[in-house]
Amino acid sequence: MAAPLEQPARAAAAAATGVSSAPGAADALADDRAVPWAALSSAPFSSASGGAWLTLLAQRIDNLRTAAIYRAGAPGQPALVAGWPQDAPVSDEMADSAFEGLARGVPLALSSIRGFHLVCPIAAGSGVVVVAEVPPLALPALEAALDELQWGAGWLEAALSHDASVGAMARVERLELAARLSEDIARATDALSAASILAAGIAAAFPADAVSVGLNRRGDLSIAARSSAPTPRPRTDDDLLDAMAAAINARQSQVLPAFTPLDTMESGADTGAVDIGTSASGADESDAESPDSAGLRPARAATPTSGITIPLLVLDLVAGAIVVESQGVAGFDPEVVAALETIALQAAPLIQAKPMSRPTPVTPGRRLFVALFGPVRLRLKLLMVALLAAALVLIGATGSYSVPASGIVEGAPYRVVTAPFGGPLAEVPVRRGDPVVRGQVLALLDDAELQAERRRLMAEREQLLAALKEAKNNRDTAPPEGLDVRLKDIDARRRTLEDRIGRARVVSPVEGVVVGGVALGAAGNSVPQGEALFEVAPVDSYRLVLWVDRREASQIREGQSGTLHMASGNQELGFTVRRLTAVTARVAGQARIRVEAQPQGFLGAAIEPGTEGSGSVDVGRRKLVWIWWRNAQREWGEL
């Protein structure tokens, strides 16, 4: 590891405000540098905005290969928060650099296999650090990259601090609103008045077009108050009661799907609920003046309405539920949902303790409930229940269904890792029998000659560029002929060399175990291009080939599991279906289709490639009637 650069790091606060120690043009340059960071840091920080921050960092630092944000986790194991590029894997060397940056607490430039790691802690004691990997750079370019990383880190720290303060303020405001509503509800004399206060308070504090409060008394759930009566109403009373019952049964808040009322006629009949904002007689004054208030009236143009239902629970008791509806809103903000849940938690015991001021109206639904479940016509009801249960068993009941299958164990071929180009092996860090993961370095080819050739080309390119610049400055001297062609040739050769240098790291293509290869113990030896350096046995070195009836192929899906009873070793072998092929064959006189599966668990010593077995694939649950008919067809030989 290299020592930190001796460039003094600017303070994060100076970077965030654009203040520079140099007057005049330096201050203007600092302001320009701060503009993109300030624009990005205006949004709340999260894992997604962390990725956006890294994307901006890649635009600000030239030749950036990869970058990542880490947070302090287990000792020696920082946790990855976000990475750039998103699909590129983050190496263990990056995590090691992050751990060292957390330990030292100061900006660092550390050498790595591919170049340098620029490490910058966000703030002392925060446990957040940024690591950026750049290729080998000259000292001025390396100092400039580290300086830009410190600028961005200052804005990232400001965004984190802002998010923490905003979240704390939102929680305080939520508790204050719940406390004020609880005081008003506590002064109410009955449950209906308390429900009206609750509906009006929520409608005034949140962007809601309609707030409905339902009360539960003796198992009867009814709508007791509504903040407004929009025309047309987004949902009927039955829809609201169904939503309240679903949230109560789930004992948690539930989001209602977006709903658009049909452009039809709406009845102006009273629903039996108390509407907030009506006259003392209970009728809406605007409806009383309208000639169409008692009959049908055209529905106004409606927009999609979103809603959320919050249950009012007091330990094991159900006080009721709240439905909040808002037109033209795609969804509710999590902070709004948290505030509504806090209000419901404090209001539920107060409402449950208050009496109802009037009896629950007898509705047609209640009459039907009593007729079905009341103490009348018991023999007829028992007969109907028995018939209904039999119908459910025959029509709706389901059971597990399995497809018979036969199988054979096959071995997977080894993966061969070849030399990308000829040359001596500089290092072979693995041995025979070592477990490796995908992307792990198996060997390093000596690239000293390639690096020397690259430096020679770079020196020649600098000379050509200097000659071209001198010719342009001196108008009397014509530029040498073929100078542009020579520059293009040098650039093409340099790119080829850099590609070969990048492929000097021989990595494992799969997760498995090293079982052989000429490179084992051959560090320092020269190998030709295409030489088989290593043989890696994949972890899933065994697979199962299943054969199922072609007429049952429509029931097989990837990810289904099953069991085979192996003929050798008397062992039950579990498996998971991986792929359904189009290969068919005649097996035991039947047309069967080939299915590839992965064994689960340890294969005993008695099970080896070629071992056969028979069993079944669990395809899931099907209707019992369908299962009986399928089994009957198989017995009759029709399937």
- Read off the pLDDT of residues 189-224 as tens digits, 9 standing for 90 and up: 888 888 888 888 888 877 677 889 999 888 888 888
Q: Is the pLDDT of residue 340 over 50?
A: yes
- pLDDT computed for residue 489 by the predictor: 81
- pLDDT confidence tier of residue 330, bands split at 50, 70 and 90: low
- pLDDT confidence tier of residue 76, bands split at 50, 70 and 90: low
- pLDDT confidence tier of residue 295, bands split at 50, 70 and 90: very low
- pLDDT confidence tier of residue 49, bands split at 50, 70 and 90: low
- pLDDT computed for residue 618 by the predictor: 92
- pLDDT computed for residue 526 by the predictor: 83
- pLDDT computed for residue 269 by the predictor: 37
Burial class (CB in 10 A: 0-12, 13-18, 19+), 87: exposed
- pLDDT computed for residue 321 by the predictor: 92
- pLDDT confidence tier of residue 264, bands split at 50, 70 and 90: very low
- pLDDT computed for residue 617 by the predictor: 92
What pLDDT, in 10s, does the model give residues 570-624? 778 888 898 888 788 887 777 889 898 888 865 655 666 678 888 999 988 888 8
- pLDDT computed for residue 320 by the predictor: 92
Closest CA to 134 of 147, 122, 121, 118: 118
Q: Is the pLDDT of residue 274 over 80?
A: no
Domains and CATH numbers, the chain: 12-165 (3.30.450.40), 188-262+272-277+302-367 (3.30.450.40), 403-410+540-636 (2.40.30.170), 415-537 (2.40.50.100)
Most confident of 112-121, 150-159, 177-186, 268-277: 112-121
Kindly state the average pLDDT of the residues 339-351.
87
Q: List Cβ<8 Å contacts ≥24 apart for 261-266.
A: 261/232, 261/233, 261/234, 261/299, 261/302, 261/305, 262/299, 263/299, 263/301, 263/302, 264/299, 265/296, 265/297, 265/298, 265/299, 266/231, 266/232, 266/233, 266/296, 266/297, 266/299
- pLDDT computed for residue 289 by the predictor: 39
Closest CA to 532 of 516, 513, 511: 516
- pLDDT computed for residue 93 by the predictor: 87
- pLDDT computed for residue 261 by the predictor: 53
- pLDDT confidence tier of residue 33, bands split at 50, 70 and 90: low
Backbone angles phi, psi at 158, to 5 degrees: -65, -40
- pLDDT confidence tier of residue 80, bands split at 50, 70 and 90: confident
Q: Is the pLDDT of residue 507 over 70?
A: yes
Burial pattern 181-199, b for ≥16 Cβ within 10 A else e, equals bbebbeebeebbbbbbbbb
SS3 350: helix
Cα distance between residue 443 and residue 419, in whole Å: 9
- Residue carrying the six token digits 């508790």: 175
Query: Before 85, cis peptide (omega within 30)?
Result: yes
- pLDDT computed for residue 125 by the predictor: 62
Kindly state the average pLDDT of the residues 173-184.
78
Residue of 636 and 388 predicted with greater confidence? 388
Q: What is the pTM of this model?
A: 0.33
In sequence order, which residues have a C-beta less than 8 Å from that of residue 167 and are 6 or more positions away? Answer: none
- pLDDT confidence tier of residue 10, bands split at 50, 70 and 90: very low
Q: At what angle do helices 334-352 and 191-205 cross, to 10 degrees?
A: 170
- pLDDT computed for residue 299 by the predictor: 40
- pLDDT computed for residue 233 by the predictor: 59
Neighbours of 435 (CB within 10 A): 13
What pLDDT, in 10s, does the model give residues 400-448? 888 889 888 876 677 888 888 888 888 888 888 788 888 888 888 877 7
- pLDDT confidence tier of residue 303, bands split at 50, 70 and 90: low
Could you tell me where the DSSP H helices lie in 233-274?
A: 237-250
Kindly state the average pLDDT of the residues 277-296.
37
Q: Is the pLDDT of residue 132 over 50?
A: yes
Q: Is the pLDDT of residue 272 over 50?
A: no
Q: List Cβ<8 Å contacts ≥24 apart for 82-85.
A: 82/47, 82/50, 82/51, 82/53, 82/54, 83/51, 83/54, 84/51, 84/54, 84/55, 84/57, 84/58
Q: Is the pLDDT of residue 185 over 60?
A: yes
Neighbours of 480 (CB within 10 A): 12
Q: Is the pLDDT of residue 51 over 80?
A: no
In eight-state DSSP terms, residue 348 is: H
With a pLDDT cut of 90, the percent of the chain lying above it is: 3
Closest CA to 236 of 365, 139, 348, 89: 365
SS3 8: coil
Q: Is the pLDDT of residue 96 over 60?
A: yes
* Number of helical H runs and strand E runs in the chain: 14, 27
With a pLDDT cut of 70, the percent of the chain lying above it is: 74
